[in-house]
Amino acid sequence: MILRYIGRRLLYLIPTFFLLSFIVFTLVRVIPGDPVMAIAGPDATPEVLQEMREALGLDRPVANQYLVYLKGLFKGDLGTSLRTHQPVWIEIGHRFSSTVELAAAGMMVSLFVGITLGVLAALRPGNWLDAFTRLISLLGVSSPTFWTGLLFVLAFGYYWRLFPIAGSGTIWHLVLPAATVSLTSLAFITRLTRASLIEVFSQDYVQTARAKGASPVRIIIHHSLQNALIAPLTVAGLEFGRLVSGVIVIETIFAWPGIGKLLIEAIQFRDWPVIQR
């Protein structure tokens, strides 16, 4: 029964894939602008533009281009960038590692700061530190990343000049974009850690450890934290996937050479093969 259900769901993926790929392929070509004009420049003659369209296969009907696209896709050929003339998989491969690096750094900040704040808030529920963590969580969830990123650029890069505000290459280039990326995940992890730890504190085995005279540090580390971290770490795994796929704005603000910046550059230059992949 279960295998039949899984097989049916997998079969549904086939028409869904073709439908979505065709929609994306068509929408990319509806975007205003001519990629050939972006490559050749405004001074190119009509003859040169036509020759380039024929060389790139852009003079064919959309349906014909789509069939060529599918044939290459099933062969593992993602096409060639119209802008750099490099295979698309090489372009993506060069940028993907930078995106993963940024997402991993942001997740590490989220876990370290979020768990620390969550533990401190759970120790004294209702005190000023608990109120402070609630404020941080509220700001992290409600603040748009582009707004927070620009504030970090102005404060730490322009006025105080503590960190570089663009590019990559050193760990200092990673500080501001990683801090910006981490805010939303940090807020969730802080609240989850606090709630889970408060619930664990009320369990019988923790009460027994207290009755035996165990120190607060031992109760937290050896008896409570390992169980309380199940929910935050589960959310962290889901958040990491979201960070990898959702750092376009951050990479643009800080000129971080990742997938997001590659996509923005491809849209600006109407690089269709890169966009549709």
Task: Note the pLDDT of residue 126.
Answer: 84
Q: What is the DSSP track for 232-264?
A: HHHHHHHHHHHHHHS-HHHHHHTT--SHHHHHH
Q: Give pTM, 2 decimals.
A: 0.81
- Reference 248, options 38, 135, 103, 41; nearest CA is 103
Residue 87 bridge partners (DSSP):
80
Please give the Cα distance from 189 to 117 (Å, whole number): 9
Please give the Cα distance from 244 to 149 (Å, whole number): 17
Please give the Cα distance from 12 to 175 (Å, whole number): 43
**Is the model's pLDDT at 175 over the cut of 80?**
yes
**pLDDT tens digits for range 177-207:** 999 999 888 988 999 999 999 999 888 888 8
**Is the model's pLDDT at 277 over the cut of 70?**
no
DSSP state of 58: T
